[in-house]
Amino acid sequence: MHSEKIRVAVYGTLKQNQSNHWLLADQKRCGEFQCDLITLYDLGPFPAAKLSNSDGVRVEVYEVDDETFARLDELEGFNAESQQSGLYNRIQIQTPFGQAWLYIYNHDVSGYPEIRSGEWFPCRS
């Protein structure tokens, strides 16, 4: 176990009141901020973030333990051996709460709507 804090910045199903937030429910919430480094796309059941400047996406930042970080990598389809082959890759970004990992979608988003509001909401039928 390392002493350095692992922070993650989340923008979709991991945020409060969303379907996968249970993975972060017992972790420390640092706060939220507007991240203008990414643009969100609506893939339906979840959003995709691409590195592309935007007017800002509202992200929540959490400090997580190693076990939770490993579960997040699994959820996001992150492949440490071949980062470009997984569903998501991850990068470190600067946040008001320190460096944090952010998951970036690895595949083409052509044909998916851009989320201009900076906030993803799941479709409710």
Mapping DSSP to helix (H, G, I), strand (E, B) and coil, where does residue 91 land?
strand
**Rounded Cα distance, 6 and 69, in Å:** 8
Check 76, 81, 114, 119 and give the catalytic one. 76
> 68: helix, coil or strand?
helix
Terminal Cα distance for the chain, rounded: 43
DSSP 114: B
Catalytic: 76?
Answer: yes
Which residues does the annotation mark as catalytic?
76
